């Protein structure tokens, strides 16, 4: 059944794979982005998916952006909180600004996007909220106190909200990727990849964006109605929680 799906950070990387997978499943998709107009316009041309620009760190911008999407496409029934950033530094060098930027985008952004769609989902007795956390929110990571805190916060947020949505037909879940083959990874030197990263992953390879997208598309489907408050760890066996 085709529904309206909104994917934050849906114009590139994992988010673009999610947006395309939801479209292929028959949903009407809106993909948002933060600033890279060139990438977003190329994505729109290539896929025919509608794109919208706003900062997920601003509550007002999210509320206004969602109003626009709903006026153009219809009520948002599936929300994928995928937009995320890193500002890595060992803690003794981490600035308050690096802390704030990551918390604002990766954690408060999830509140800012979910809060405006929640009343409509309650009224219609259906909703799917899926947030992309990270293996580093589950196990912690050197130089990522900000990112690990935000991504762990996303999991706590999800478990709490799942309990509130359960009787209203709204499921709330997390997908926690391990190392995924995105642009971010291609900048890592081959030696570091082969000697440090790959040996940590039991399946012996990086994940593909499509593999995350398929998890999300399943959680968004009507078939996944009994799954709520869960975290799907898609990490090649790197961290078993």
In contact, 234 and 211? CB cutoff 8 Å: yes
Distances in Å between the Cα of 112 and the Cα atoms of 8, 66, 135 are: 11, 10, 23
Under rule CB under 6 A, residue 66 binds ligand NDP: no
For the CB of residue 207, give the shortest distance to ligand NDP in the complex, in Å: 8
Stretch that binds ligand NDP, among 138-146, 156-164, 180-188, 214-222 (CB under 6 A): 180-188
Binding letters toward ligand NDP, positions 104-143, x by CB under 6 A:
-x--------------------------x-x---------
Under rule CB under 6 A, residue 177 binds ligand NDP: yes
User: 36 or 123, CB closer to ligand NDP?
Assistant: 36
User: 73 or 188, CB closer to ligand NDP?
Assistant: 188
- DSSP H stretches of helix in 135-194: 135-139, 145-165, 183-186, 190-192
Under rule CB under 6 A, residue 57 binds ligand NDP: yes
Under rule CB under 6 A, residue 49 binds ligand NDP: no
Under rule CB under 6 A, residue 13 binds ligand NDP: yes
Catalytic residue among 33, 52, 147, 179: 147
Stretch that binds ligand NDP, among 44-52, 80-88, 186-194, 218-226 (CB under 6 A): 80-88
Q: What single DSSP character describes residue 51?
A: E
Instruction: Kindly give the interhelix angle for 145-165 and 109-124, rounded to the nearest 10 degrees.
Output: 10
- At 172 the three-state DSSP class reads strand
Under rule CB under 6 A, residue 180 binds ligand NDP: yes
Under rule CB under 6 A, residue 14 binds ligand NDP: yes
**Phi and psi angles of residue 32, each rounded to the nearest 5 degrees, phi first:** -105, 165
In contact, 15 and 5? CB cutoff 8 Å: no
Stretch that binds ligand NDP, among 22-30, 63-71, 138-146, 174-182 (CB under 6 A): 174-182
Task: Establish whether 239 is a catalytic residue.
Answer: no
Under rule CB under 6 A, residue 56 binds ligand NDP: yes
How distant is the alpha carbon of residue 109 from its chain centre?
10
CA dist., res. 150 & res. 153, Å (int): 5
Under rule CB under 6 A, residue 83 binds ligand NDP: yes
Q: What single DSSP character describes residue 170?
A: E
CA dist., res. 179 & res. 211, Å (int): 12
* 223 Cβ contact partners less than 8 Å away, ≥ 6 residues apart: none
**Which residues are catalytic, by number?**
147
Residues that bind ligand NDP (CB under 6 A): 8-9, 11-15, 32-36, 39, 55-57, 82-85, 105, 132, 134, 177, 179-180, 182-184
């Amino acid at each position: 059944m085709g529904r309206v799906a909104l994917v934050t950070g849906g114009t590139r990387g994992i988010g673009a794979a999610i947006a395309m997978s939801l479209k292929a499943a028959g949903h009407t998709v809106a993909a948002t982005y933060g600033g890279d107009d060139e990438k977003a316009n190329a994505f729109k041309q290539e896929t025919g998916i509608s794109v919208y620009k706003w900062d997920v760190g601003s509550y007002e911008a999210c509320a206004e952006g969602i109003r626009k999407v709903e006026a153009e496409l219809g009520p948002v029934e599936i929300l994928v909180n995928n937009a995320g950033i890193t500002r890595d530094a060992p803690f003794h060098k981490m600035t308050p600004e690096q802390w704030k930027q990551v918390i604002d985008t990766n954690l408060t952004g999830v509140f800012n996007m979910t809060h405006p769609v929640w009343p409509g989902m309650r009224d219609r007795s259906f909703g799917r909220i899926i947030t992309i956390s990270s293996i580093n929110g589950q196990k912690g990571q050197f130089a990522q106190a900000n990112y690990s805190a935000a991504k762990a916060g996303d999991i706590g947020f999800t478990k709490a909200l799942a309990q509130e949505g359960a009787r209203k037909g709204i499921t709330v879940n997390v997908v926690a990727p391990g190392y995924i083959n995105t642009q971010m990874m291609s900048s890592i030197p081959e030696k570091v990849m082969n000697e440090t990263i790959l040996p940590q992953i039991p399946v012996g390879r990086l994940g593909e964006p499509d593999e995350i997208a398929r998890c999300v598309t399943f959680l968004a489907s009507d078939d996944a109605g009994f799954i709520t408050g869960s975290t799907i760890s898609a990490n090649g066996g790197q961290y078993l929680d």
